[in-house]
Amino acid sequence: MDRYVLGVDIGGTLIKIGILNETGNIIEKWSISTDTSDNGKNILTDIAESINEKIFENCLNPSSFLGMGVGVPGPVTEDGMVINCPNIGWENVDAASVLKKLTSIKTCVLNDANSAALGEVWNGAARGCKNVVMVTLGTGVGGGIVVNGNIIAGSHGGGGEIGHMPVNPDETVRCGCGKCGCFEQYASATGIVRLAKQRLKDKKSSLLTEYEEITAKAVFDSARMGDEVSEEAVNEAAEYMGRGFALIASVVDPEIFVIGGGVSGAGEYLLKKIKDSYYPFAFKPQKNAGFVMAKLGNDAGITGAAKYALDCSGYCEKNNHYEEKELLPAKEDVAGRLENLSEAEKKTNSVCAIKSLLFDENTIGGEVQKKIDDLKNNPVVKGAVFGEISILNNDDVIAFSMEKYGQSLIAIGNIANRDTEYSIPGQMLYIWLNTDKKVDILGNTVKLKPYQFVVLEFYPGDELPG
């Protein structure tokens, strides 16, 4: 079965969505408007409805997707909480949980600049590089830092916010963040226009006076034609860029800087000025850092978000499989525990047996562990462990059910040294495995290899036996 991944890039005006394959090729992409009314209350619902409709149109289902990554214009904590996104009105939004519930697809969230950086590393200008800094020079300045292939998000979701590095202690004009002298005040499109306008006050002759509205593009175009005011503004901006990149390099030591955003449209003209400004400020070991323009454009966000979803799922692109995560004891240990469970022990330790066989609280997390602790009086669990009911008509099965987001879970395990089949009640939605990720599923039948465990998640409303 072909497997896909979803990438979502939430912007203040548009939300870009893409379906990608496991190698990062975009199969289909589209966009919807960003409804920022009522503090962005409808954004997640709109995204889910659009995705569910597209899945239906393409005759797919949620199990066709390895996951969904979502880039948001604001800081995201390690546990996926979106702290603050003023452009869309969000504050403390658990976007991952909401979208998973609405789409039945595992979802993870990251900052949009980090997402763009991952995209360029995966399939763009920094492909093949492990240590990368991406800088987006637009209305503001965003940044994404990748070290050893991993995004640096920081403890509070503020990793990579290079636009707010203080680079000029003498600045009196305040940045949008409330501080003075931020990198963004000089390196952004807004900052470049500000520097040009400051110089226009003292000089009457400039090509910029011919423009109805002065933009960063107008400043660069005029500078190329030898306009003194524009050249001075561009040179000052480039000097701050060189300083700022040297500061970043002193901490991160990247192989390459990737320059994106609207200002990057100035191309090689800007790139040369940045390099010339960077070299005098750079520490000797970092002088050889490369500088390139971003390649993916508007696709960087959805590409990086999709890559983040793959990383969260445990998928290993190099070997085209999932990295094995040891959530269960060794098969010999599992078999031994079951053989040693006497009838008396089963009656007193049913929940403990399930916990020890199927879950590890250090890897699964406290929420699921608490759910399992609450199973003590569950009749399905008791019936399965005590042998009072036969859920799957096989003596070699440990099974239980619990509720999570309104959906039912069943865990089964083949503890015999032979291949076997199990009949599954209801409609299967997700499969989580502890060993071989390739499981044969036909209708309501699942084939398990020896010592293989599987957790099945069912659509809400399906009744489990017992």
Evaluate if residue 120 carries a pLDDT over 60. Answer: yes
DSSP of 159-194? TT-GGG-B--TT--SBPTTS-BSBTHHHHSHHHHHH
User: Torsion over CA of 260, 261, 264 and 265, rounded to 10 degrees?
Assistant: 130
Higher confidence at residue 230 or residue 74?
230
Instruction: Judge if 275 and 151 occupy the same domain.
Output: yes
Instruction: Judge if 204 and 245 occupy the same domain.
Output: yes
pLDDT at 444: 57
pLDDT at 248: 94
Q: Are 141 and 262 in contact (CB under 8 A)?
A: no
Supply the range of the domain harboring residue 196. Answer: 125-294
Lowest-confidence pick of 8-12, 370-374, 449-453: 370-374
Cα(370)–Cα(84) distance, integer angstroms:
30
Residue 360, helix vs strand vs coil = coil
Instruction: Judge if 106 and 21 occupy the same domain.
Output: yes
Residue 189: pLDDT band (50, 70, 90) is: very high
Residue 465 lies in a domain: no
Residue 130 lies in a domain: yes
Instruction: Judge if 172 and 244 occupy the same domain.
Output: yes
Q: Are 147 and 160 in contact (CB under 8 A)?
A: no
Instruction: Judge if 80 and 222 occupy the same domain.
Output: no
Stretch 58-65: mean pLDDT, rounded? 82
Name every residue whose Cβ is closer than 8 Å to that of residue 15 and which is 6 or more positions away in sequence.
Answer: 8, 9, 31, 32, 33, 34, 43, 46, 47
427 phi-psi bin (left φ>0, alpha ψ -120 to 50, beta other): beta
Q: Name the percent of the chain lying above pLDDT 90.
A: 46
Task: Give pTM, 2 decimals.
Answer: 0.64
Burial of 314 (0-12, 13-18, 19+ CB in 10 A): middle
- What is the token pair recorded at 181? 């002298």
Question: Residue 17: which CATH number?
Answer: 3.30.420.40
pLDDT tens by residue, 440-458: 555 556 666 665 555 554 4
Residue 464 lies in a domain: no
pLDDT tens by residue, 236-259: 999 999 999 999 999 999 999 999
Residue closest to 428 by CA, chosen among 444, 412, 413: 444
H or E segment to which residue 113 belongs? helix 112-123
Instruction: Judge if 171 and 198 occupy the same domain.
Output: yes
Residue closest to 127 by CA, chosen among 243, 309, 294, 1: 294
Number of domains in the chain: 3
Instruction: Judge if 152 and 232 occupy the same domain.
Output: yes
Instruction: Judge if 101 and 147 occupy the same domain.
Output: no
> What is the chain's mean pLDDT, rounded?
75
